[in-house]
Structure 1
Amino acid sequence: MERTPLFVGLTREVSFAGLPIMYLVVLIATVMLGFIITRSFVYLLITGGVGYVALRGLAAYDPKIISVFIATVQRTRMSPRLLRGEELVYRA
């Protein structure tokens, strides 16, 4: 049952151009923000290419790592001391 094309297709990570959607969002946000700040097409091409290759390798290693990072940051309470600039303290 788990080897049928329908099951494999429905459980596979949604991707575009070989990158999971969350990786693609991170890549586009990073590249476009940097391009807007620098106004350099060289930056756009180099960062886009290097970022794509790096994220493609990371996605091959673990396609859910960015989602895990986001969930960890959302669930971890930050200390009010961080907002005052005193130190970075995480508590579970």
Structure 2
Amino acid sequence: MSRIRVDEDILPLSEFRAGVATFVKQIHETRRPMVLTQRGRGVAVLVGVQEYERMQGRLELLEEIYKAEEQLANGEGISHEQAKSRVLGRLA
């Protein structure tokens, strides 16, 4: 994801409402997120669909890594040799 450009990518919600199509096009073309503000405070971040899906994929991978680390910390893991043996057994 590209970095937010403060001068272009942060705007009031009222301004966004007035030109939704233009801003959606901007998000698609620049591949940068857009921060919407209300009363001077950030209230939402808009990202393109592809970027959202990429972020979701990364989050799922991180969740799996954290789960695996927890399992290892609880002594639930298996050795490399055991894992290798299981995988090769299933492939045979």
**Is the TM-score greater than 0.5?**
no
Q: Which has the higher strand share?
A: 2
Task: Name the TM-score, length of structure 1 as normaliser.
Answer: 0.28
Q: Between Structure 1 and Structure 2, whose CA radius of gyration is higher?
A: 2
Structure 2 length normalisation: TM-score? 0.28
